[in-house]
Structure 1
Amino acid sequence: MNQTYLISNESSYAHALPTVCNLAAPGGVYIGVGVDQNFTGMAAVGASYGFIVDNRPPNRWLHSLFKACFELAPSPSAYLSVLMGRPAPSSLLPGADMAEMLATYFARTQFDPIFFEEQSARIRDCITRYEKNLSSETWNTFHAMHSCFAYHGLDIKTRFDMDEWHGIKYPTYRDLMPAVDRTGRRWHFLNREEDYLWVKNMQRRNKIVAVTGDMTGKKTLSRLAEFIREKQKIVSTVYVSNIEETLFRENRFEAYVANLRRLPIDKTTTIIRSVVNDPEHTHPAALPGHLFVTVTQRLKRFLTLYEKGAYSTYRDVTMLDYRV
């Protein structure tokens, strides 16, 4: 199977979280794209709901796999055990750095095919309870995704067809777990049991929903906006990774902005965007060793600047009014 997009390649994601958390009130709604980096954001802002919008159909199945792992795992170590097909540690040192400790343990724990198949069967039983009438092709997709995590372990990365881009290595799961913000704090949802349990509880109550849709489409964000208003909630965070670059290039940026306007927001709602760390057009906030620089902007400010015609190029989007 093509392993692309099973994990994030944004080791800088945590850089945005201190700013976002300073603004976001707990209980808001988190909207994002991509894979499990969103769990870190949901826990950080204390989200009441989390919606993952992605136009790649397999992304929905990937999130169903994650949901099953949360259901089966009472702790961060158990979660990695189920996902990676490796037995969990028998005990953890009290007060130890969870992400670093788990990364070290699972990096040196060998893949166990019998254990993996046992976990795969448990995952299938879970998924069967909330995904009905799945085709054999879809089950093969689940098994292939799970196999990639198990076979590669913490060495899994976004791409296996290349090791680096302009001298910057693609991060592995081993790199992402202990990744820090600009002050040295770790935010990964597996680093603190409280954060893990927050996301697990959201999953248990079906508060995290992966949607196959498009940020520029006429239905997806419109329906989400209607649902959020019905729940009398406010969107606290919109994480868009680097999709704006593609939308700008394909002349779909206007539709994207129109959809963002439909969301119930307030003055604290924050957009998180990731900008490719292009050596030819280095962003002032870029740090060495990261494929991306991750920055924030208040969403109302973004919409105001757009209405004033401030964004003639994608670089304008990334450079004007950003915060780290």
Structure 2
Amino acid sequence: MRVLALLVALASSLSLASEPTLSAFASLPADPPPAEIVRGLHYWISNENELHLFHDAVKDKGGVYVGVGSDQNYLLGAWARAEVLVLMDFDQSIVDLHRVYRVLFRAAETPADFLRLWRLESRPEVRRLLQEGYADPKERASALRAYGTARWAVDRRLKRVVEQMGKASLPSFVVDADEYAHIRRLFLEDKVFMVRGDLTAKRTVSAVGRAVAQAGMKVGVLYLSNAEQYFPYDKWYRSNIRELPMDEHSVVVRTSGQRGISHVKGTYYHYNTQSGSSFISWLGDAKTRNVRTMLHYAPAAGTVYGLSRLDTGPEEAREAAKQRLLAKQAVKKLKKVRGPSRPRREAVP
């Protein structure tokens, strides 16, 4: 019996030792609030309606998921089977909304019950859950305020996600039990961390990088939405991203609504995926001043217009783009020499 007890204790200690140390995530410092937010609007929900294009790139990446924005992180994080979620936004109101999500994920056992809690008739129940879920008066008040303002938009958005992922024949956390259970388990195990963070500021992102390294983990997915179109690749942004432990297996997913870049038909955005090592390489290139400069060299991915994939560094990508241009010019020159093609006449018997 004594030997059995020792074996059980040893197995338990080995199990605890294998668990990553997440204490640094619990104390991530917040960046100062911005002087103003984009267009003075709170982006309570995503308007990226082609997120299914990211599914294959993020699937089963694991590791730490780092993302900005709101609901899209739960869809992507579940596909990635992330082990830790770090949800950040420079708008404190979006961080407050994630606190609402936290309470509802913990309270609802199924996707159907989760969707029910966002409906109008569930307001009294949700308000009670939020009041019970936060002992700190400021956190409680901010969560209630975010819920009161954003509830109708989130309800509408989640219904749209159900429809969109159904059309794409992909599982989603708002329908599929396994997808939902994965995100819910992360909340129940306190492996979801919410913080006001600015990608170009000095505190949060670098602290996330140190926390990931301390846990002995890698960033599996870095989701940037369309944030990069609003700032240049300055020294702080370059430094912040370099501090995130990423490699060739990590993936960066982003959108861009900028002109001069192909957009998926009927949408506001170009959709891009990129390996972590590729992104780090581009950030070391002085000529790469912003995301648009880089995306010009991202080759199309598959047959979807407006979707690109970039896995190489700047030198290789620029050379490949040069060769594509030369090949295109050669085809045009050949057509010019041959002249316009004419229909062949059938012989008259």
Counterpart residue number, 1:88? none
* Match of residue 191, structure 1, among 175, 195, 205: 175
How far 1:275 sits from its partner (Å)? Answer: 1.1
Contact 2:95–2:195 (CA under 8 A) maintained in structure 1:
yes
1:232–1:151 CA distance, 2 compared to 1 (3 A): closer
Q: CA deviation at 1:68?
A: 0.3
Letter of the 2:309 counterpart:
R
Distance change >3 Å, CA 301–CA 127, structure 1 → 2: same
Shift of residue 214 of structure 1? 1.3
**Is residue 61–residue 250 contact of structure 2 (8 Å, CA) maintained in 1?**
no
Residue 44 (1) aligns with residue 48 (2): no
Residues in 2 aligned to 1:323 and 1:50: alpha-carbon distance in whole angstroms: 24
Give the 5 Å matches for 1:52-63.
52-63=87-98
Match of 1:147 in 2: 148
What secondary structure is seen at the aligned counterpart in 1 of 2:266?
coil
Q: Distance in 1 between matches of 2:152 and 2:191?
A: 30
Instruction: State the AA in 1 paired with 2:260.
Output: H
Post-superposition Cα deviations, 1:245-282, rounded to whole Å, max 9, x if no partner, equal 1122xxx5331121111111221111111111x5x534
Higher gyration radius (CA): 2
Is 1:175 the counterpart of 2:210? The answer is: no
Query: Which runs of structure 2 are paired with 1:7-26 in the superposition (5 Å)?
Result: 7-21=45-59, 25-26=61-62
* Structure 1 counterpart of 2:285: 308
- Match of 1:124? 131
Cα 1:152–1:301 shift into 2, 3 Å: closer
Q: Partner of 1:185: helix, strand, or coil?
A: coil
TM-score w.r.t. the length of structure 2 is 0.68
Tell me if 1:225 matches 2:209.
yes
Distance 1:42 1:48 in 2: 9
Aligned counterpart for 1:134 among listed residues 125, 131, 138: 138
User: What is the match of residue 81 of structure 1?
Assistant: 116
Residues 40 and 189 in structure 1, CA contact (< 8 A), matched pair in contact too: yes
| Structure 1: tracts of 5 or more residues without a match | 85-110, 156-171
Please give the per-residue CA displacement for 1:128-185, whole angstroms capped at 9, x wherever unaligned: 3xxx2427xx61x433432345556743xxxxxxxxxxxxxxxx4432333249x933
Q: Read off the aligned partner of 1:147 and give its amino acid letter.
A: G
Q: Which residue of 1 aligns with 2:102?
A: 67
Mapped partners of 1:48, 1:152: distance in 2: 28
Structure 2's unaligned 5+ residue stretches are: 1-39, 299-307, 311-349
Pair 1:187–1:316, CA change in 2 (3 A): farther
Paired with 1:46 and 1:175, the residues of 2 have a C-alpha distance of 22
2:244 aligns with one of 260, 263, 266:
263
2:193 is paired with a residue whose SS is: strand
Alpha-carbon contact 1:178-1:191 (below 8 Å) kept = no
Size of the aligned set, in residue pairs, is: 262
Residues 9-47 of structure 1, C-alpha deviation per residue, up to 9 Å, x if partnerless? 1112221121222xx543x10000010210111111111
CA distance in 2, matches of 1:256, 1:201: 32
Distance 1:180 1:310, change over 3 A: farther
- Contact 2:106/2:188 (8 A) holds in 1: yes
CA RMSD of aligned residues (A): 2.5
Seen in structure 2, the aligned counterparts of structure 1 residues 240 and 153 have a Cα distance that, compared at 3 Å, is closer
